[in-house]
Amino acid sequence: KINAAGAWTIKGTTPTGWFLWALWALEAAIVLGLAWVAAHSMVEDHPFCETCETWCKETEGLAGVGAGDPEQLRAKLEAKDFAYLKGLGPAKADSPSWFRFDLHACHSCQGLNALTVTNFQVLTDAKGGTTKTQSEVVKLLILTAAEAESLKSVASGLSAPAAE
């Protein structure tokens, strides 16, 4: 009945039929789209501990590690070989490439830990101009509490770069 008679009037015109359905579809797409974007942007980078029902806190710059092969670093981290980081050494502030380690952890139960590693690069073109880029090597790699402690132990010997 609403479709045949219309629900409202805009500037003297009452949308009905397929035009009204199209407006309703557009309205639904906007509402659902905005809800999805809001939810997706919130949970994409911040893990949620289901046990404690709380968002994990991030320690950005847990460690800064010198340049290396991103694929090899990813493989070593997935194998939980944190000793590999010692071989890369600490990042230097004037280095054109380094890795930054960020750790998300549940501070209530310490049961959920997630590691993100970002590769930072400063590229210089032929004219001397620089471009800073960053790319994720590992995103939210789940670690046990013991693995997170092992990573923190290794990271304590490494420092974050002074400038990004």
Q: Is the pLDDT of residue 164 over 50?
A: no
pLDDT in tens, 46-89: 788 888 988 888 888 888 899 889 999 999 999 999 999 998 98
pLDDT in tens, 101-159: 999 999 888 889 999 999 999 888 888 888 889 999 999 999 999 999 999 999 887 75
Q: What's the pTM value of the predicted model, to 2 decimals?
A: 0.69
> Which pLDDT value is given to residue 126?
84
> Which pLDDT value is given to residue 100?
93
pLDDT in tens, 11-51: 888 888 888 889 889 999 999 999 988 877 766 677 888 88
Are the C-beta atoms of 50 and 106 separated by less than 8 Å?
no
Torsions phi, psi for 109 (to 5 deg): -110, -10
Terminal C-alpha separation, the chain = 61
> Which pLDDT value is given to residue 163?
43
d(CA 46, CA 100): 17
